[in-house]
Amino acid sequence: MELSRRYLTVLLNALYDTDTSEISIAHPSDEVGELLTIELGDPNSSTIRLSKSLDEYADARSRVNNEYGSQVASELPEPRSYVNALLAGRLHSPDNQDEIDDFLDRYGNPDLTAGHRPVVAGFDTNLLPWRIADVLGLAPGQDSAVNGFALATGVRDELDWEQKQSDTRALEEAFGREFDALWNQPAGARREGRLGETYYRQLRDHRYADEVVTDRGDEAIVEGYEAYQDDNRKDVLLFSNDRDFVERARSHRVLAQRVELPGNFPSSVEASWTAIQDTIYVLTVLFGVLKLPKVTLYGVWKGKGGQAWQREHLEVDCRSPKVEPLIRRDTTILEAAE
């Protein structure tokens, strides 16, 4: 069955109701194995523990590369992407969060009734896969410091995800038969690009979002934002992980702030069920397949199409007959309420 990201708390609830309050999230391979564990508690405060440090994960990825080759190893996220996935779930913050808060306090929250120009947020390519508007508290529906978004088409075009997995035999030999599901789906790091492209579309479709037509490349993107400010009488707050991009933007009179992506992850954090659902979603897409108690989750599968990507669906294979009816019951209730 398919389950959307925003309904993954239904899965957590089904596991909890079948006496599984400690959830292991693991890659099917012996070389990688368990990534983290979740001790489900209050919906606003559960404990997440990292089972492997970043160095241990990097070592496991190297072992896969040595034993099975680079093609197989490339289906595992880079260590930095693994940490960024935990950021995307808001399990931790950018390393310079205080600096970002100061930037938003200084330039955000315009007083429109006093004639101040509206302020919109824009994002560089390197941040979009990590649900950055949610991370920074700028997403629609949040008490945001900005009035909307300005999204450059050049950034969208740089989110390359078209290369597909054409042969899964080596993956199945290394990781297990579940990985035949990756056939004809975005391969390896291309799934990161697909996450970014999906998130771009979500922000673009927000009613307070503008699309800025630009070519690819830092200079073209920044010039597009400069022209957008002049033509629309709005101020752009531009966010990037790239120091050069930030400096280039400032030289074009565009307010810009670097977001320092985390270099590591604490061994234990407290998080809400909502943060956990977002973390599970991003991790499952990046790794392709993950195992939890009683269920196997697929971030990609044969025939996964554009609608499933846009609706942020995962495929759920219930290994326990007790879990599936609980998920279907609660999903039906939620859908009826909407």
Q: Are residues 80 and 116 in the same domain?
A: no
Q: What pLDDT, in 10s, does the model give residues 188-240?
A: 889 999 999 999 999 999 889 999 999 999 999 999 999 999 999 999 999 99
Q: Is the pLDDT of residue 141 over 90?
A: no
- Residue 179 is assigned to a structural domain of this protein: no
What domain range includes position 308? 2-92+267-337
- Residue 181 is assigned to a structural domain of this protein: no
Choose the final residue of a domain: 232, 258, 284: 258
Would you say the C-alpha torsion 253, 255, 261, 262 has a positive or negative sign?
A: positive
147: domain CATH number? 3.40.50.1010
Q: Are residues 253 and 322 in the same domain?
A: no
Average pLDDT, the chain: 94
Q: Are residues 119 and 252 in the same domain?
A: yes
Q: What pLDDT, in 10s, does the model give residues 98-136?
A: 999 999 999 999 999 898 999 999 999 999 999 999 999
- Residue 172 is assigned to a structural domain of this protein: no
Q: Are residues 124 and 244 in the same domain?
A: yes
Q: What pLDDT, in 10s, does the model give residues 232-289?
A: 999 999 999 999 999 999 999 999 999 999 988 888 999 999 999 999 999 999 999 9
> What are phi and psi for residue 244, nearest 5 degrees?
-60, -40
Choose the final residue of a domain: 239, 258, 277: 258
Choose the final residue of a domain: 258, 282, 298: 258
Total domains in the chain come to 2
Q: Are residues 85 and 111 in the same domain?
A: no
Q: Are residues 215 and 121 in the same domain?
A: yes
Q: Are 182 and 168 in contact (CB under 8 A)?
A: yes
- Residue 308 is assigned to a structural domain of this protein: yes
255-258-259-264 Cα dihedral, nearest 10 degrees: -170
Compute CA distances 64 → 8, 88, 305, 311, whole Å.
Answer: 30, 25, 29, 32
**pTM metric for this prediction:** 0.95
- Residue 224 is assigned to a structural domain of this protein: yes
